[in-house]
Chains A and B, each alone.
Chain A
């Protein structure tokens, strides 16, 4: 089976600046890959390129069977990107935001309800305009939209930001459930304590390239991580 994400020496430009400077990465379905690295390493750019929001100018980039160099827009409706800024409308309620997200895909509005309930967005909370919710609650609404749309590839950029302990546990459960169903998860984080245990692999980015790769907590005990570092670039 072809990998969900296949990048070979992929270069993506942010203006004139090469945000990705020759990235090699392959991610299989049902795999969780955590991307770590300092600010400016290219983590967010990697996720945006995989979502078809940043043009790949050279190299190979195939995501969910779509060649991003030929048609980057083709992959967009198949991925779920949870970025720094949530794709939410402040004036709409939590339930309305999630319903809009699922109806945009042509799914029935009722698809939103189980996802809202899974994220604890029920009752008055579901009927509250998103602009009046806390950062953590907004994050939950964005996650509910992601779960309801059930994309084959989750692209999570600092997904723990704003979430409390219960929210972080719930996020871990959602990732595990999605992966068990064959979903591929690519996750960038500055919080390895929270994300490495969820990962099959942990890749380190620096200067827009992959600098190192190691096994994640799903494949190896955390204590063994340091011994399994493998430098790839």
Chain B
């Protein structure tokens, strides 16, 4: 399964690197979201600093939808969809590979976004390891849930409009726990941050396991 996952992740990342959609569309979209949120909150530095973690994670969530749509689009044609089913690759390996590719894309996006938050909002992390652990756990959950719902909507004509409706409510706990954990990392409040990791961790594990189990049946149904 790991060999299959590496193969699929490598293929998806190579396609993304060549198409440059993530670079020229997803990343600018995320940055634009941050700037617009800042405009909406006004020029007050205090309000911006307090809202920074939430705005950061909102931008990540919206970008997740775009990244998952791209991941689904790679196999949206009849030929590639059938080709993957006939390839001999374990469906759990396909899930793990696609989720890993989305995970890596989102981690890179978060690094760039955080640089934007630092510049735009003047916010600095006092406990970086806490933010890093929160990001990794949250991103595992986002990528796993996104790929599951991507597979669910893959065969539908309305998948592009349906996907945000399916994904965004489900990943609301990540928005909440991710924002609070990052707020704790900014404030240096480790105990508070760790308590929010207790939501992000089980969420990540639950959707990872669900994806490994359900991806095959979802692929058949789509």
B11 within 8 A of A: yes
Is A152 engaged at the interface, CB distance under 8 Å to the other chain?
no
Q: Within residues 46 to 102 of chain B, which ones have a CB less than 8 A from any CB in chain A?
A: 74, 77-80, 82-89
The reply to whether B7 and A103 form a contact with Cβ atoms under 8 Å apart is: yes
Chain A 52-80: CB-based contact to B (< 8 A → 1; otherwise 0): 11000000000000000000010011011
A144: interface (CB < 8 Å): no
* Stretch of A22-30, A82-90, A169-177 at the chain-chain interface: A82-90
Which of B15, B74, B77, B88 is A104 in contact with, Cβ under 8 Å?
Answer: B88
**Residues 1-30 of B at the A interface (beta carbon under 8 Å):** 3-4, 7, 11, 14-15, 18-19
Please determine whether B7 and A100 come into contact, CB atoms closer than 8 angstroms. yes
CB distance from B214 to the nearest CB of A (A): 15
The closest CB in chain A to the CB of B86 belongs to A76
How many B residues touch the partner, as a band? 20 to 34
The number of chain A residues with a CB under 8 A from chain B is: 26
Q: Is B88 in contact with A87, judged by CB distance below 8 angstroms?
A: no
Q: Let me know if A105 and B88 touch, CB within 8 A.
A: yes
Are B85 and A89 neighbours in the complex by a CB distance under 8 Å?
A: no
Please report which residues of chain B, range 159-215, place their CB below 8 angstroms from some CB of chain A when the two chains form the complex.
Answer: none
CB distance from A53 to the nearest CB of B (A): 6
CB-based nearest B residue for A82: B79
Given the known A-B contacts A96-B14, A129-B18, are A89 and B86 also in contact in the complex, defined by CB atoms under 8 Å?
A: no
Whether A91 pairs with B14 at a CB distance below 8 angstroms is yes
Residues of chain B within 8 A of A122, CB atoms compared: none
**Chain A residue nearest in CB terms to B75:** A89
**B15–A53 contact, CB under 8 A?**
no
Q: For the complex, what is the distance from the CA of A100 to the CA of B89, rounded to whole Å? A: 11
Instruction: Say yes or no: A91 contacts B88, CB within 8 Å.
Output: no
> Is A87 a contact partner of B80 (Cβ separation < 8 A)?
yes
Q: Is the CB of A101 within 8 A of B79?
A: no
Q: Establish whether residues A53 and B7, one from each chain, have CB atoms under 8 Å apart when the complex forms.
A: no
Asked if A51 and B7 sit within 8 Å, CB to CB, the answer is no
Q: In the bound complex, do residue B79 and residue A77 qualify as a contact, i.e. CB atoms below 8 Å apart?
A: no
CB neighbours (8 Å) of A53 from chain B are 82, 85-86
In whole angstroms, how far apart are the Cα atoms of A106 and B87 in the complex?
10
Inter-subunit contact A89/B87 (CB<8 Å):
no
| Complex interface bits, A104-132 against B, C-beta within 8 A gives 1, otherwise 0 | 11100000000000000000000001000
Chain A residue contacts of B88, Cβ below 8 A = 76-77, 104-106
Query: Once bound together, how far apart are the Cα atoms of A88 and B11, in whole Å?
Result: 12
Contact assessment for A100 and B79 in the assembled complex, using a CB-CB cutoff below 8 Å: no
Q: A residues within 8 Å of B by Cβ?
A: 51-53, 73, 76-77, 79-81, 83-89, 91-92, 96, 100-101, 103-106, 129
16 A-B pairs whose Cβ atoms sit less than 8 Å apart in the complex = A76-B86, A77-B88, A79-B86, A80-B86, A83-B82, A84-B78, A85-B79, A85-B80, A87-B84, A87-B86, A92-B14, A96-B14, A100-B11, A101-B87, A103-B7, A105-B88
